[in-house]
Structure 1
Amino acid sequence: MHPRDSTPRVAPPPPLVPVLLDPLAGACVVAAEDGVILDVRTTAGRTGTLRLRPATDNSLRITLRLDGVPTAPRISVVTAPADTGCLVERSPDTLTLRLGALALDVRLSPLTLELRGCHLRQATDVSDPGDRTIVLPLGVTELADGQLIYHDSWFTEPDEHFYGLGERFTGPDLRGQRVDCWVEDAQGSTGTRSYKAVPFLLSSRGYAVLVDTTTAASFDLAHSNTGAWSVTVPDEELDYYLITGTPTECLRTYRDLTGPALLPPRWAFGPWISGGFCRDSADEVRERARRIRELGFPCEVLHIDTYWQRPGCWSDMEWDTEAFPDPRGLLADLAQQGFHVSLWMNPYLSVDSPHFAEIDRNGWFLRVPSQGTWIGQVWNGAHPDSAVLDLTHPGAADWLRGRVRQVLATGVSVLKTDFGEAVPVAAVAHNGMTGDRLHNLYPLLFNDLVAEVTQEVAGHGLTWGRSTWTGGQRHGAKWTGDPNASWQDLASTVRAGLSLSLSGHPFWSHDIGGFHGTPDPELFVRWAQFGLLSPLSRFHGMTSRLPWDFGEEVYAAVLHAARLRTGLLPYVHRSAADAVRTGEPLARPMALDHPDRPDAHAADLQYLLGPDLLVAPLYAPGGRRQVWFPPGEWLPYAGSGGPIDGPAWRRVRIPLTAAPLWLRAGAHVL
């Protein structure tokens, strides 16, 4: 029998039910050379070890592990460089760890940590007038089922801003929010769910925190208490990195700890055009290609979505030979016309697939204890029930590698790695990992596998992915999921992309025009102008996003923006290479370079593309918006209007035919 999940999407872990709060009560030094090892005890008498170690020249690794906590299969997603030496100064009641510009004071009783420079201090004893603890101190909480969850808290300043934690449609500045790092099918772009979660928190005060876990880490960012922020981790240990420096320095350290971003091939920065989530065929693809070249519309990549495969078998990685009788011939013809081809894929297999029985028999699907293969509805009723390939199983991984290799060998350039968020909490994998640990890790395993084969066959490791976790920047490209064709979703997509920029992932895109529904002409133009000034650019949706299908006026405006993109490509290529080298994003939020300016934190619907282009997408009809101009002199790219000296807010008017773009005076971008 196969257990079936009738819910429309895979749910997050159930709410935690705390029974006993058990903070650390005291500590004694065991060793203090190139770091500190402390024996610790909790108020309830539990014992354990707290380790403070240098990681890089501006970061310390903090690890709390209590004795007797069961060990379960887990995978670290952070790799610290070779230990950096640090100086430890001791006195009877305190220790100080020094490395580079970082200095951490450790008070032993009561145990308290304080980071100098940004004056960051642990919140160890915060109570309400009734003497109830209202901020979770360093320690653990026992849950109703006996599980221990770890937590830590630090005081926050009233004017402090928080960024990062992945793709956040609610806005880059997370102060006042509670964020659960749990990868989900967001079902749109205006809610709190996210396809991309990264437990990397960036503060405007000159520090950052990176938690090494794949569990559902939760951050309370001055939400429950305006004077402190907390992190809760349901793992077997609390293992995180405390980083100091400017926001750009903290992002560089994120790169050092998790690996550099992949620089996409040069062709990937040109426009991508999709036939959309519609029935497709070789004849229709050829006609799109012919029309694109006939009109002279810039396009580097043609994307073919789900219908290159047979309906009901959308994970088999086999061409629908009725609709596409000669895939190799089609791809060869497209290559002669200068097109690269992208194909859609996902890591689930439907019960209707002819391969399902064999894979099930081999044990290559995720399973539920005592019930067999997990089968559920991951398509909200639009596709048959499916199972999830267990990519920790060598047999399942080899099977998928073979399918990917076979498709790429036909001449495909890149694969769109859709989904990946459906691992249920109750699942158990071949390597022993349970769903609560595998769920967030799975998108990395999925994209790693596809990237590996793509590198082997196509000579690059780019994937166009929807979901990710810490380290996913190594796959090169992410898009922000399935927004509605609305102004609200355009605005939330801008904010989500900038949130991802502040989470160590420099290359992102989105569905120009929105995915669900059909945009009106003005919305389509403004979304296209935004998309063609994003790190990567793709037209895609449930209905046509071919610019010439929206009328002559719209087509002229979008063609202008596409040609502008093409003219800027040398600048974009240089800026992208710099982003990989430095760990900084290609689309730079205002707060990244100006953390001390209140206006920069408010200007969360605009960004710099590279160092010298200011992009302010239109997010409402009418052609007007407020723009914050950073320090310096800014010139409208088309030469209309005079220069604007920043810092300053200006209400600007942008004609439908003009891109929302300004150039830093004296910069050379063309």
Structure 2
Amino acid sequence: MHLESLKLVDTFPSKVVFDAGAGMKLVIEPHAPGVFRIRCGLAESVAADILPGNRARAHADVLLARPEAIGEAVLEPLSGSVKGWRLVQGDTALDISLNPFKLEVQRLGKKALSLCDNGIALHEALWTVGFELAREEKIFGLGETSGDLDRRRETIISDAPDHRALPLAWGPSGWGVYVNTLSRVEHDLGAESASQYLIAIEDKTLDLFLFAAEPGEILNQYTQLTGRAGQPSLWSMGVWVEQHDTHSAAQTAELIAEFRKQNIAVDGVLLLPPSAWTYQDSKLLPEWDAERFPSPKQAIDSFVKHATHLGMHTLPAVAIDTTTFGELEDRGWLLCNESGEAHVFPGVAATAGKPFALLDLTHRDVLNTWSERHRHLAEEGVGATACDVQFDIPDNVVARGGESGAVLRSLYPALARRALFEAVAGHKVPPEGVVFSSDLFPGAQRLLWQSAPRVPNTWAGLQETLRSALSIGASGLPVQMHALGNALAPVESMTPELYLRWLGMAVFSGNFAFQAHPQLVPTAFDEETRAHVQTWLQWRYRLIPYVLGAIEDAARTGLPVQRSMALSFPADREAHRWDTQYLLGPALLVAPAMQPGQDIQVYLPEGEAWWDLNTGWRYEGGAVLTVTCGLGTLPVFGREGHMLCLGPTANHTGEFNSARILDEVWMFGMPVHNPVVMRNKIRVMQMQGSSYIKGLEGLRISPSEGLEVKRRGAEVRISRAR
């Protein structure tokens, strides 16, 4: 079926309904400013305000945090000889043409996105949608990549675990596409036809959101629509250490004690698999692994006495060699094959290599029981959990709710991770919690933190971990944790230079973890390298108020902590080529070293001025600089008009004065913008060429050259020096 003829049925400010023939309807909503929702399918599935069936509503809850339209538009007939209508909302419009059928999204009077000649078609529950691609147009988003951030000429399948897919695609020229489904979606980004972006959707109903805005606003609208992350606790912003696979918990606690003696900052420890909790024989709730943790309280206390919090692995799984397996199978609490028998997965690290079955988290009682048990574990003192469940679940596995195939592969990790976040966050307002996971799925941006990819201990590995963070950030996820190296890969190639360059990048990121491998801990290196490590760690803890502020900003704007050049400067085509430099929050431009040597090139985006943090010099944008940096520095530039609020140096966040976490403020030119900083109460107002700032009481202020500071009670005036 092709949408060749439409009949206008109903018109409302928030919805336009067309009869598409054969019992099908096309519903178009001006869903939000610059956002149009396109639904097409059987009349009852697209025209109803309430989705039929509990499972459909459950799936919708996973996909959309705000399903109702909040926009309104005016419907007008198209002018000229073309028959059709124009749906206008603000500075965006959607043209609906007939004979042939075509949709075109316009922004500021210019085409932003248009259906290609193939248009929209349905063949046996497979929808196909095609969009025109301009010759020079790049495509960003759609999940994790270790290569070029531009995804053009790739093919991405939503439920293939190795494709690491996320559902949002956008172009710097001001368009975005989100396919709202848990079913399989194949994105052909010009691989088959260079001038077309083709989407194939295995679903009975077509449900698309089309965006027309700057990329930053697209992420804002997308995350308002699909949900945003909660906040992490302050302690989780400190440095982490990941346990070595040959160390027991006690040996890891001894390493943390040594870190404290050496004044190496640390706040969290992530213990490696297997899971800390298992289903014991004849028990239907997970209990502490008695062999590894004979005294759970003693294990937790061994870290608490060093002011360190624990993160531990878990998995909604039961080993098949336990009597509990049979009892849970009889209850119908496990994912089953079509025959009704529990599906057995081969062993993984979290199960210590033992074959296992997965709890059926689509079953409400199972999900609630699993979440509630982890809430009790959090109350016992476990600070964070880690859980990877994105297994390649076979198509013949069926959940109790009837989900199977791509839908189950997309839904299962979302249910697991959300249940854990709710368990950790408890009743905190706003919700705070950390759940480590490498899983990617629709709605993943609602949760912190994304685990780092496992990369080689090489310069190429450093590039890979950075590109993966920037690519998922461009897809709507706010934070990726970085790992400083990989304890499971050969470590001989990790030189002191590479180690310090990796650390420098990680310090200017959402967060990172040291590896407890004897050759990857800071104490493994020479005295000069250790001195540089201390310098970088001091920077990290001073940056915590700013980075946490950037995470809080993500909960308001949808923008990630590490922002690619294409996302931040869509109109500057030259900036897009510099895809291993990034903005950290809105104020800092970071150009980490990606190869050996002290000379590092950085591109300063045009249209703005930039202040070198290392020298205090000011540069106009649109220029390429070569900056010579020793191993204790990187090219970092402050964006004119912004401020950087810094905290004190510390060995852990427990040393922070919660009543006065800020210590100093750096200014990059005349302050114009309110600073990004945790629990921000600093406000900037401009008047007669000066800036008046409230909220800087008791802080050291470092203005840019040519500015002077005058304090008047609780107010600070920044003006030009006379």
Task: Look up the SS of the partner of 2:26 in the other structure.
Answer: strand
Of 125, 128, 141, 1:164 maps to 141
Q: Which of 83, 88, 101 is equivalent to 1:98?
A: 88
Asked if the contact 1:316/1:355 (under 8 Å) is kept, the reply is no
- Counterpart position of 1:372: 341
The separation in 2 between residues aligned to 1:162 and 1:439, in whole angstroms, is 25
Q: Are 2:20 and 1:40 equivalent residues in the alignment? A: yes
Q: Aligned with 2:5: secondary structure?
A: strand
- C-alpha distance in structure 2 between counterparts of 1:668 and 1:353, whole Å: 58
Change in CA separation of 1:404 and 1:176 when aligned onto 2, cut-off 3 Å: same
Q: CA deviation at 1:198?
A: 1.9
1:86 equivalent to 2:86? Answer no
* Counterpart position of 2:97: 107
Q: Normalising to structure 2: TM-score of the pair? A: 0.80
1:584 is matched with which residue? 559
Query: Is the alpha carbon distance of 1:573 and 1:401 closer, same or farther for their aligned partners in structure 2, counting shifts above 3 Å?
Result: closer
Quick one: higher RCO (CA 8 Å, sep 6+), 1 or 2? 1
Corresponding residue number in structure 2 for 1:339: 308
The answer to whether the Cα contact below 8 Å between 1:183 and 1:468 also exists between their aligned partners in 2 is: no
Query: Using a 3 Å threshold, how does the CA distance of structure 1 residues 382 and 330 change in structure 2: closer, same or farther?
Result: closer
Whether the 8 Å CA contact 1:317–1:345 is kept in 2: the answer is no
What aligned pairs does 1:244-259 form with structure 2 within 5 A after superposition?
Answer: 244-259=212-227
Deviation for aligned residue 1:275: 1.5
Residue 414 and residue 457 in structure 1: after superposition, are their counterparts in 2 closer, same or farther (change >3 A)? farther
Cα pair 2:26 2:40 within 8 Å, conserved: yes
The residue matched to 1:501 in structure 2 has which SS? helix
Consecutive unaligned residues in structure 2, runs of 5 or more: 47-51, 647-722
1:224 paired residue number: 192
Going from structure 1 to structure 2, the CA distance change for 1:181 and 1:553 (only over 3 Å counts) comes to farther
CA distance in 2, matches of 1:244, 1:310: 47
Aligned to 2:379, which of 409, 425, 436?
A: 409
**Aligned-partner Cα distance in 1 for 2:498–2:321:** 39
Q: Could you report, residue by residue, the CA deviation over 1:167-213 in whole angstroms, capped at 9, with x for unpaired residues?
A: 222332112222222251x4xxxxxx32xx32111111112111111
- Equivalent pairs, count: 619
Secondary structure, counterpart of 1:460 in structure 2: coil
The equivalent residue for 1:546 is 521
- Which residue number corresponds to residue 122 of structure 1? 114
Identity value in percent: 27
CA distance in 2 between counterparts of 1:633 and 1:85 reads 39
Q: What CA distance in whole angstroms lies between the structure 2 residues aligned with 1:347 and 1:310?
A: 10
CA contact (8 A) 1:633 1:664 kept: yes
Q: Which letter does structure 1 place at the counterpart of 2:211?
A: I
| Mapped partners of 1:650, 1:277: distance in 2 | 43
Q: Is the 8 A contact 1:301 1:342 kept in 2?
A: yes
Query: Which residue of the partner structure matches residue 329 of structure 1?
Result: 298
Matched, 1:530 2:522: no
Which residue in 2 is equivalent to 1:303? 270
Distance 1:402 1:421 in 2: 23
CA contact (8 A) 2:30 2:37 kept: yes
Equivalent-residue separation in structure 2 for 1:263 and 1:377 (angstroms): 35
The change in CA–CA distance for 1:652 and 1:160 in structure 2 (over 3 A counts) is same
**Is the aligned partner of 1:28 residue 2:7?**
yes
CA separation of 1:212 and 1:590: change in aligned 2, threshold 3 A = same
- Residues 160 and 316 of structure 1: is their aligned pair in 2 closer, same or farther, counting only changes over 3 Å? farther
| Cα shift readout 1:559-595 (whole Å, capped 9, x = no counterpart) | 2211111111122222222222122121111112211
| Deviation (angstroms), 1:666 | 6.5
> After the TM superposition, which of the residue ranges 564-573 and 651-660 deviates more from structure 2?
651-660
Structure 1 position 292 matched with structure 2 position 269: no
* From 352, 355, 360, the counterpart of 2:324: 355
Alpha-carbon shift at residue 310 of structure 1 (Å): 8.2
1:486 equivalent to 2:458? Answer yes
Q: Secondary structure at the match of 2:551?
A: helix
Classify the secondary structure of the residue corresponding to 2:184: coil
Q: Residues 378 and 149 of structure 1: is their aligned pair in 2 closer, same or farther, counting only changes over 3 Å?
A: farther
Between the aligned partners of 1:543 and 1:233, the Cα distance in structure 2 is 48
Q: Unpaired runs of 5+ in structure 1?
A: 1-21, 126-135, 143-147, 187-192
Counterpart amino acid of residue 390 in structure 1: D
Q: 2 CA distance for matches of 1:101 and 1:355?
A: 60
Which one of the candidate residues 138, 147, 154 is aligned to 2:120? 138
Supply the distance in 2 between the matched residues of 1:356 and 1:155 (Cα, whole angstroms).
Answer: 52
Of residues 337, 353, 356 in structure 2, which corresponds to 1:383?
353
Query: Does the CA-based 8 Å contact 1:345-1:417 persist in structure 2?
Result: yes
Aligned-CA RMSD value: 2.9
| Contact 1:347/1:389, CA 8 A, preserved across alignment | yes
1:151 equivalent in structure 2: 128
- Cα separation, 2, equivalents of 1:440 and 1:385: 22
Q: Secondary structure at the match of 1:567?
A: helix
- Taking structure 1 as the reference length, the TM-score comes to 0.85
| SS of alignment partner, residue 3 of structure 2 | strand
1:312·1:352 contact (CA, 8 Å) conserved in 2?
A: no
